[in-house]
A and B are shown apart, each in its own frame.
Chain A
Amino acid sequence: MSARSRSSVPSSGQRRLRADGAVSRRTFLKGSGVLVVAFSLAGPARLGAPAAARAQEAGAAQSLDSWLAIAADGSVTLFTGKVDLGTGVETALAQIAAEELNVPFGSMRVVQGDTAVSPDQGRTVGSLSISQGGLQVRKAAAEARQALLRLASDRLGVPADALAVRDGVVSVAGDPSRTVSYGALVGGRRFELEMTGTAEPKRPADYTIVGQPIPRLDIPAKMTGSFEYVQNVRLPGMLHGRVVRPTPQSGATLVGVDQDSVRDLPGVVQVVVKGNLVGVVAEREEQAIEAAKQLRVTWSDPTGLPDQADLFDIVRRTPSEDKTLAASGDVAAALGGAAKLVRATYEFPFQSHAMMGPSCGVADVRADRATVWSGTQHPHGLAKDLATWLDLPEDAVRVIYTEGSGCYGRYTTDDAALDAALLSQAVGRPVRVQWMRHDEHGWDHYNTPMLFDLQAGLDADGKVVAYDWQSWSARHTGQALLGDQTGNWVIPLDPVFVGDDTPKFYDFANTRYVLHAQDRALLRYGNNRSLGAMLSAFAAESFMDELAAAAGADPVEFRLRHLSDQRAIDALRAAVDRAGWDTRPSPRRDASRTGVVAGRGLALGEYGANPQLGHTWIATVAEVEVNQDSGEVQVKRMVVAHDCGLIVNPDGVRNQVEGNTLQSLSRTLFEEVAFDRSGVTSVDWRTYPILTFEDVPEVEVILIDRPDVGAAGAGESATIPTAAAIANAIFDATGVRLRRVPFTVSRVRAALQQRG
């Protein structure tokens, strides 16, 4: 469909060529006629506080960091450092540019994330790629179109407003014989445009490419084994490395390495020791794996994790800085005067990203420079960190983004890239490091666990008159590269941004939202999909259901009593209408206490707090069957209404909504990082089970398109309501309220037994 290019190059010949020479924007485009618009993907838009913090976290530069180039052959290249991560963003950004320029989609190509080619745009985090980046691409393309129309106006001798563009060809309105193509207008000349902000983007009503389910650019190669994953990068003379670490997250430090233990193994090139980092480098991959297995390493005794059963007691006791996120009225007085009080505590554990492909990096470190291939979400940030670790100047480290496995936040730190770089530096040859499965599960930076104490008062009419929210959480972002660290997982508190994503969208009269913000957690933690939004929504929307039950109200009707945002209301109604919602209070009264019973539950989620870029609203209905004898929960059907404003690519959004819904279903029912006093014990797919084909329900997605609202994020939003929707459905079926994720068979059975 289109010439597709990645900065991770397809042939080894090209790869060598590129690895040897730094490529700048100027040299990349040199020697050909071209019209270039430079712009910032981060954009100059003023951001609301949480989004501003998020953008700051993303390292968003205000400088001109991206560009769009129209060449003399009519091809259009979009250079961005915003990386795709398997979510289809590349295709969507190309659609936006093609739309504004009025060029065929097939003439677009996208180059992503090479620190030498595309400048710093911050990390791909928080689903900002389309909401923020798309807006800037749109403006830049409009700017280019305006300039091209000006050139055409001179060439054709008619005013610009008498011109029309179709498929990259400008024609005089009413005289189709007088035309000139974009390519011919560029010719052999070179135009460098600055953003003037005067170009008027198209009206959404005129869109013909944006809004279409254009097939993704990357999929054919992925289906045929020809896609360039970082795992496939091979360099001349490349060796294979593996790193040997102690029992995951045990806090043990290095005592000694018996180099003789692998001396006789075939292919071993070197044992590398740097601080607590121990690595083996071998000629062949299986030799490196074997050497890592055989190498005798002595570690100190584990510093001792507590019992996993004590996790949330420890979260509660961890020193915190108490932040009042929002407050209104007089909560204490309103609670005192309420007709009914409801209190509940919710817990959400550590969970792993559990990438299918373990972390993998390839590094070629020489005396004075380094080239690293990485699936990182932030090529420039990684280059900077690597420069520090390797003791090289920042501009001597080139990071070439090469897509890895789907990562969901895992690649905010690419630990394997650092491992590869350190081993390559030690042996003086290119080294590829792929983590083993136990490394990936054991040394992941998990999401921060969260604890919630919620309390509310209802009046005699069943309205919430007091709402008191307290949560405990460490930051959901910002873990440093692993390197030779072995424990003590501390991330300094950010004055603005913790990433708890506390929902505050209901109209409650007297409120107090307090976050007990912490700077440490028991295990390594950082960005995981939706940050704290899924965790906070589990508490908030489960509690909303408990309040509805206390008021004897239908869960939908009860929410509508407290909602005024029209988009939220529309999403809620769309989901329940499609689901055929059975209007009545929960739990259902006619259900048997034995055997299999069915129930339905609902939850509402809000994603993104930037008023300029819009919110995404998600309403999810879950229908479940609970086997009350075994404790097994089967989710039979999920109905998800999703409103992310303007939809760039409906099939892309649908794919994301389905994927987020099912991945979060997996997190809800099955997933919890397990540890004992010796370290993390969930180190493979048996000890950390995830959803299988036999667990997958039907998922019905309703996309609400709002072309007038502006595109908001869809890359993680549908993760948010799932856990609460399922908890509420289980409550509806059985009357049992599950307040701790995951809802494993044994946990559900125990709760049912307690019910009696």
Chain B
Amino acid sequence: MSALNLSVNGRSYTVDVEPDTPLLYVLRNDLELNGPKFGCGLNQCGACTVIMNGRSVRSCVTPVSRAVGAEVTTLEGLGTVDNPHPIQQAFIDEQAAQCGYCINGMIMTAKAFLDANPNADDAAIRRALSRNLCRCATHLRILRAVSRYAEEQRA
């Protein structure tokens, strides 16, 4: 075990864990941040996605040591029920979920992608999300929510 300093959602934390511990378990179990989810542990589904230094990463295969010195944002860091981030509001407006288990990955992946590619069209958004899986098959609502957010950002 070693003490590691993390910066998550603008707050500083010190955690005492093995440096190769996947970031996901530290976020969920030590910091009690429930946005990122365990889906596969294999970098295949995207449910665990967080934003690290502006880029979306899969926290299930990212060693916590790689997050040292980086700024990590989770779904909680974007907004709350009372004060949602515009992309969260777009998902609420489009009622873009059923079980919602995958949604963390959808929102975090889409946000990082659109921050870097504000003029992305629908086809590019689909490609950007193509490695995020949804089993309830709310894909069309998710696409509408992301497009709505993209348009609002451009407006």
Contact = CB atoms under 8 A, between A and B. Distances in A.
User: Which of B44, B88, B136 has most A Cβ within 10 Å?
Assistant: B136
A278 to B, nearest CB: 20
A701 to B, nearest CB: 10
Nearest to A4: B81
A591 to B, nearest CB: 27
Contacts, number: 179
Interface in A384-416: 403-408
Contacts of B38: 231, 357-358, 434
Interface in B53-67: none
B133 A692 contact: yes
Interface string A355-381: 111100000000000000000000000
A225 B97 contact: no
B153 interface: no
Given A222-B100, A223-B88, A684 B40 contact: yes
A450 to B, nearest CB: 22
Given A219-B95, A436-B41, A357 B84 contact: no
Interface string B13-50: 00001100110010011001111011111101101000
B44 to A, nearest CB: 4
A658 B137 contact: yes
A226 interface: yes
Interface in A285-338: 285-286, 289
Given A86-B99, A229-B101, A356 B45 contact: yes
B129 A693 contact: yes
A358 B133 CA distance: 14
A84 B88 CA distance: 22
B8 to A, nearest CB: 12
How many interface residues does chain B have, given as a range?
Answer: 35 or more
B22 to A, nearest CB: 6
User: Which of B39, B44, B98 has most A Cβ within 10 Å?
Assistant: B98
B134 interface: yes
Contacts of B33: 225
A357 B98 contact: no
Contacts of B81: 220-221, 224, 226
A680 interface: no
A632 interface: no
B29 to A, nearest CB: 6
A28 interface: no
A229 B47 CA distance: 14
A685 B35 contact: no
A651 interface: yes
B147 interface: no
B45 A659 contact: no
A437 interface: yes
A694 B127 contact: yes
Contact of A696 (B41, B80, B88, B140): B140
A278 B133 CA distance: 31
Interface string A198-226: 00000000000000000110111111111
Contacts of A658: 137-138, 140-141
A356 B101 contact: yes
A651 B40 contact: no
Contacts of B44: 437, 684-686
Contacts of A686: 44
Given A221-B81, A286-B25, A226 B100 contact: no
A357 B41 contact: no
A612 B13 CA distance: 59
A90 to B, nearest CB: 12
B75 interface: yes
Interface of A: 85-88, 215-216, 218-227, 229, 231-232, 234, 266, 284-286, 289, 354-358, 403-408, 434, 436-437, 651, 655-656, 658-663, 665-666, 684-686, 690-694, 696, 698-699
9 contacts: A85-B99, A219-B92, A222-B97, A224-B81, A225-B74, A355-B101, A662-B139, A685-B133, A696-B140
